Amino acid sequence: MRILVLNGPNLNLLGVREPSIYGEKSFEALEQLIRKTAGELGAEVELFQSNHEGALVDKIQQALHTADGILINPAAYTHTSVAILDALKAVQLPTVEVHLSDISQREKFRQFSYVSLYAQKVIYGKGFQGYVEGLEWLCATVKRKDQHAD
């Protein structure tokens, strides 16, 4: 089972950027947790972070032939990117959208998500634990899908 984990703009600055909102743990700590969790679930993960919308779209398109599911924190592109939404819809892979903060309690412009129009599950406000829950959900979903394919 292969899961593509995408992180959007400024997430590489975790621990530095607004720790009162995003926490004090580093991006490297997040990636370590993702790898550890994936290993425990028997999944391989490809981790990718970019501050560039087109790079994220390219990675989603490449997942069509390389991944069984996508876990994405689109960050600021959550609220602006129809291109990311369209790429997710095109590849038709099980997708979880995750956010460290509770976007429903943030500024009005942060409360709408284009990605949620496709994602089968949305997790927000749980910090790093949201990634763990997202990986667990994706792995269970992919396993069920594979069992029904047999």
For the annotated catalytic residues, the residue numbers are 22, 99
Distance between CA 15 and CA 55 in Å, rounded?
24
CB neighbours of residue 138 within 10 Å: 28
Query: Alpha carbon of 49 to those of 46, 60, 134, 141, 149: distances in Å?
Result: 10, 12, 17, 24, 32
CB 103 within 8 A of CB 67: no
Phi/psi at 27 (5° precision): -60, -40
Q: At what angle do helices 53-62 and 82-91 cross, to 10 degrees?
A: 0
